């Protein structure tokens, strides 16, 4: 696949490049599922370019004690906890994991309560599903999203993201039918270092995107 220099002006600029790399799925009625909040502006661009539907997949990372930005696991909307092997090597206790997972699950429930009235969830079953994230560090969050969606029986499951380290990409490969990404640089410290503009995406922006997103054109799966 085509690779690009590992630095991007913004999430939107990276999304344009990803949309080009995903062009084979145009016309196949893809369902683009973005991981809130950062990936929503990217998901909108990709869904529009591919003439697909846009929705969210709700997963939350479980951060390491004292370093919440470093994901050692994730929890999905069903409440299932997915832990990275690094958690065991760091000696993170089960009680911490349960407590943090419960806290993150409350965030997921609150977001679903916000999103559903303005954009009801779209069934991924039988669809070509493209899961979008801005970038991937440990892969815990995106991995949880892919495992959750695989259980919902999509016709094809693709992960699309701008940047991730090579070892994370290797761990993600078995979880998707295809990985589409722009670069796999080393060394890799944080996703934000590869973007000039990596501003925080606010709740209001996510809600505005969902308000302006039409409902699925595809009827619900029988």
Per-residue pLDDT tens over the stretch 94-112: 999 999 999 999 999 999 9
How many Å is the Cα radius of gyration of the chain?
Answer: 16
Contact status, residue 127 vs residue 29, Cβ threshold 8 Å: yes
- Burial of 58-75, coded b for 16+ CB within 10 Å and e otherwise, reads bbbbbbbeeeeebbbbbb
**pTM confidence score:** 0.91
Structure tokens that stand for 198 in this block? 């990596």
Joined tokens for residue 176: 């998707």
Q: Report the distance separating Cα 4 and Cα 136, nearest Å.
A: 16
Q: Calculate the average pLDDT of the chain.
A: 92
Q: Which two tokens stand for residue 100?
A: 């943090």
Residues composing the chain = 222
Most confident of 2-16, 68-82, 121-135: 121-135
Query: What percent of the chain has a predicted confidence (pLDDT) above 70?
Result: 94
What pairing do the DSSP bridges indicate for beta strands 53-56 and 59-64? Answer: unpaired
Structure token digits, residue 30:
């893809």
For residues 173-196, average pLDDT:
95
**Rounded Cα gap, residues 206 and 186, in angstroms:** 31
Q: What is the dihedral of CA 205, 210, 212, 217, to 10 degrees?
A: 160
pLDDT of residue 69: 84
pLDDT at 4 over 50: no
Query: 2-11, 122-131, 135-144, 154-163: lowest mean pLDDT where?
Result: 2-11
Residue 120 has pLDDT above 80, yes or no: yes
For position 217, what pLDDT does the model report? 58
Q: 145 pairs with which residues across the strands? A: none
Q: What is the pLDDT of residues 11-33, one digit of tens each?
A: 999 999 999 999 999 999 999 99
Compute the distance between CA of residue 128 and CA of residue 124 in angstroms, rounded to an integer.
8
């Amino acid at each position: 696949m085509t690779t690009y220099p590992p630095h991007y002006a913004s999430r939107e600029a990276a999304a344009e490049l990803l949309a080009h790399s995903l062009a084979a799925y145009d016309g196949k009625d893809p369902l683009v599922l973005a991981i809130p909040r950062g990936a929503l502006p990217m998901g909108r661009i990709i869904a529009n370019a591919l003439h697909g539907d846009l929705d969210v997949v709700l997963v939350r990372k479980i951060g390491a004690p004292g370093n919440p930005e470093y994901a050692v696991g994730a929890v999905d909307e069903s409440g299932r906890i997915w832990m990275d092997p690094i958690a065991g090597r760091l000696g993170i206790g089960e009680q911490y994991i349960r407590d943090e997972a419960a806290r993150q699950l409350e965030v997921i429930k609150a977001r679903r309560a916000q999103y559903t009235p303005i954009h009801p969830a779209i069934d991924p079953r039988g669809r070509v599903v493209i899961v979008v994230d801005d970038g991937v560090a440990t892969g815990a969050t995106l991995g949880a999203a892919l495992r959750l969606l695989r259980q919902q029986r999509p016709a094809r499951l693709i992960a699309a993201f701008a940047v991730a380290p090579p070892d994370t990409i290797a761990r993600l490969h078995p979880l998707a039918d295809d990985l589409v990404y722009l670069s796999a640089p080393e060394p890799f410290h944080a996703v934000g270092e590869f973007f000039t503009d990596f501003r925080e995406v606010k709740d209001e922006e996510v809600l505005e995107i969902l308000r302006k997103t039409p409902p699925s054109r595809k009827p619900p799966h029988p």
